[in-house]
Structure 1
């Protein structure tokens, strides 16, 4: 259909790619541990939205252009690295609430703020994925292997593969967020432990940013 080839192998490959820990998984786990299941799930949805952008770009040729340009790769790489480091530093220096009851009452009084926070988490997950040049290279090197060169529906084939990829990734990342978020519940009443968890996760984000900054094409 649409010129897609070896679809069964594609499904197996996507599953294996999802269960293999990578930057997206580390980011979702970090958000879930630092801020709970909801934060992890919103981050996972943001990352999935980023994958939708890559799928569209791959379908219409933009990804190939970026992959072929050393300048574009470098710019995206450093912007993504700086963004991750910025998020990590914010977590490292975040202030912990005095106690769990104060946090709960504050959340009840500031529901619009809480909704805004969820939007921010979604957007942060989105940008960490979109600004990762390795994801660009993955799409441009992986997807074409499952599209027939002779088909007249290449764009539809790429879009169909992208939909499958995003759906499978969303399910897996949601599961990861749910499991990792269980850790937060155990420490929700211990602000001291929560503060150190934030610092550890923030340090991990900074490490991811530095790793991305030093990545080669």
Structure 2
């Protein structure tokens, strides 16, 4: 029975993983330039995801439901972080776009460190981007509550947490590895500034949405 329930949970979780979000846009943007940075961001985001899933299994959704202002403050902080990321991406994309317009036909030497920062910074970006969306607790609560047996032993909870995180980690790592191949990076080289601008626009929308939702909870 537990394996059937676990399979159902992983199927439901798959839909959430494949839904475009800030984590996916960040990984795609980094993977188009550097495999190491993309993998670092994946690991950072999934370290945070592990914490979210653990909190969900321990009943954090009940706490957030009882104190909506707590969720509101976390969402406001997350919205501000996403807006900070958005302006950084837009500035980077516009700077590269302007350079290409002034030097038409010349391919710039790509300095990954100057464009993306260190691998450690990419890990931190992945962690902070996932941290910016506390509603993931409510999402996991919605798909886990009907499946997780009441009074389930610790090993059942641990198995579910590991399975959910590993499913997401494998999919995101596969995306990062696929997009960061030499062939794909060459194809995406010309689209670099457009990817930055598109990611910046998405992060702006997500950030403003979080600010509005979080601010409403505080009023």
| TM-score normalized by the length of structure 2 | 0.76
Shift of 1:122: 1.0
For residues 12-161 of structure 1, the aligned pairs below 5 Å read 12-33=11-32, 35-94=33-92, 95-96=95-96, 99-100=108-109, 103=111, 117-151=118-152, 153=153, 155-161=154-160
CA RMSD across the alignment: 3.0
| CA-to-aligned-CA distance 1:106-156 (integer Å, 9 cap, x gap) | x6xx9xxx8x711111111112112202212112222222211143x2x44
| TM-score normalized by the length of structure 1 | 0.76
Structure 1: 5+ residue stretches without partners: none
CA distance in structure 2 between the aligned counterparts of 1:82 and 1:27, rounded to whole angstroms: 16
Shift of 1:72: 0.8
CA distance in structure 2 between the aligned counterparts of 1:156 and 1:130, rounded to whole angstroms: 26
Indicate conservation of the 8 Å contact 1:29/1:177, yes or no. Answer: yes
Indicate conservation of the 8 Å contact 2:30/2:38, yes or no. Answer: yes
CA distance in structure 1 between the aligned counterparts of 2:187 and 2:205, rounded to whole angstroms: 26
Distance 1:63 1:146, change over 3 A: same
SS at match of 1:211: helix
Partner of 2:169: 170
SS at match of 2:48: helix
For residues 185-204 of structure 1, the aligned pairs below 5 Å read 185-188=186-189, 193-204=191-202
Distance 1:30 1:64, change over 3 A: farther
Aligned length: 201
Distance 1:43 1:11, change over 3 A: same
CA distance in structure 1 between the aligned counterparts of 2:207 and 2:31, rounded to whole angstroms: 18
Partner of 1:213: 211
| CA-to-aligned-CA distance 1:64-121 (integer Å, 9 cap, x gap) | 31243210111011111110110111121135498327x37xx6xx9xxx8x711111
Distance 1:55 1:4, change over 3 A: farther
Structure 2: 5+ residue stretches without partners: 100-106
Shift of 1:5: 6.9
Partner of 2:102: none
Indicate conservation of the 8 Å contact 1:4/1:147, yes or no. Answer: no
Distance 1:58 1:196, change over 3 A: closer
